[in-house]
Amino acid sequence: MAQEIDKNDFEQNEVVVDRVSKAYGTGQFAKPVVTDCSFSLQRGKLTVMIGPSGCGKSTLIRLLAGFEAPDSGTVTMNHKPVSGPSKERLVLFQETALFPWLNTYDNIMFGPRARGEDTAETKATVEKLLETIGLTAFRKKYPSQLSGGMQRRVELARAMINDPQVMILDEPFRGLDAMTKELMWEYYARLFESSQRTHFFVTTDIDEAIFLADRLLIMTHIPTKTTAIVDVDLPRPRKLTDLFESERANEIKMKALTLLHQEAMKSFSGGSKAAADFVDAYAKRKTENGKQA
């Protein structure tokens, strides 16, 4: 069962999604995508949402960002209804959105310059970000001269320098090769741990979810809602060795996989190819764990 939101402890929750439903289409053609969904984003924490592919996670991102409004229920931030897009909530999508005519440094500085904040303090922040993401030597390179992983790092830095209260990320490392993706986890974790801002991260990768999250939101098949909330009580700062060698990390992973498997089986019965792939991968993992034991 999903964890209920503690209405008496709103101060720790920066964003609250309360009994939200959303459907597309009208009348008999309406298709429910989100139904009676509730969860919160705790202030200064990294909340990761994971669920079957196509279950409605991207719809929830649009509702949190204010790009769309729920059919019923409420989305609030700091006790105020989310009624539209805001600079307080910044979304990093899957698609690359760097300006090809600007180099790395100027892409990161674009937001502050647009606001008239090209100050010594801002420039110092850019330098620190470049160092954190390992791209100081690539400050004058243009996007076409950077690898896919480097471009993602620049986008992260460009988003972080705008200092949103809530950072929303929609599978930002999807499409990267396995080695690059794992490096991105560490760069992103470093940026998050240095900012102490509220982050909401959506993924379908269980290892990514466990490594990054303070809390996991496990979602049902479509129409989606929160079926469980799992605390990821791994210490920070984190390293990849924590993920692969920690007994506690493996315990959390197997708990999350079991919950996801239950939802994937429901999608699988409906003919979902993504769910079928997950069920097959889950079966293989269970076999491997049995052999290790």
Is 130 found in the same domain as 70?
Answer: no
Residue 80 β-bridge partners: 77
| H or E segment and range at residue 251 | helix 247-269
Is 34 found in the same domain as 146?
Answer: no
Q: How far is 63 from 65, CA to CA, in rounded Å?
A: 5
* Domain end among 113, 143, 158: 158
* Domain end among 125, 143, 158: 158
125, part of any domain: yes
Q: What percent of the chain has pLDDT over 70?
A: 86
94, part of any domain: no
Q: How far is 86 from 70, CA to CA, in rounded Å?
A: 17
Q: Considering its fold, how many domains does the chain have in total?
A: 2
224 within 8 A of 263, measured Cβ to Cβ = no
Mean pLDDT of 110-130: 92
26, part of any domain: yes
CA distances from 79 to 17, 40, 75, 181, 199 (A): 11, 12, 9, 36, 18
Is 121 found in the same domain as 194?
Answer: no
Is 67 found in the same domain as 19?
Answer: yes
Is 237 found in the same domain as 138?
Answer: no
63 within 8 A of 271, measured Cβ to Cβ = no
Is 75 found in the same domain as 206?
Answer: yes
CATH number at residue 73: 3.40.50.300
The model's pTM is 0.85
Residues 6+ away with beta carbon under 8 Å from 84: 66
Mean pLDDT of 278-289: 54
Write out the residue range of the structural domain in which residue 196 sits.
10-88+164-292
Q: How far is 18 from 77, CA to CA, in rounded Å?
A: 11
Is 122 found in the same domain as 69?
Answer: no
211, part of any domain: yes
* Domain end among 158, 181, 196: 158
38 within 8 A of 20, measured Cβ to Cβ = yes
- Copy the structure tokens of residue 158: 């460009």
62, part of any domain: yes
pLDDT value for 8: 45
53 within 8 A of 281, measured Cβ to Cβ = no
> Would the pLDDT of 56 be above 50?
yes
Is 172 found in the same domain as 61?
Answer: yes
Q: Output the 3-class SS for 205-223.
A: CHHHHHHHCCEEEEECCCC
> Would the pLDDT of 291 be above 80?
no
212, part of any domain: yes
Average pLDDT over the chain reads 86
Is 283 found in the same domain as 141?
Answer: no
187, part of any domain: yes
- Copy the structure tokens of residue 83: 């009624």
Is 271 found in the same domain as 143?
Answer: no
Is 150 found in the same domain as 216?
Answer: no
> Would the pLDDT of 3 be above 50?
no
98, part of any domain: no
Is 202 found in the same domain as 248?
Answer: yes
Residue 34 β-bridge partners: 22, 224
> Would the pLDDT of 181 be above 60?
yes
DSSP annotation of 12 reads G
Longest alpha-carbon distance in the chain: 60
Mean pLDDT of 94-98: 83
**Does 160 or 263 have the greater pLDDT score?**
160
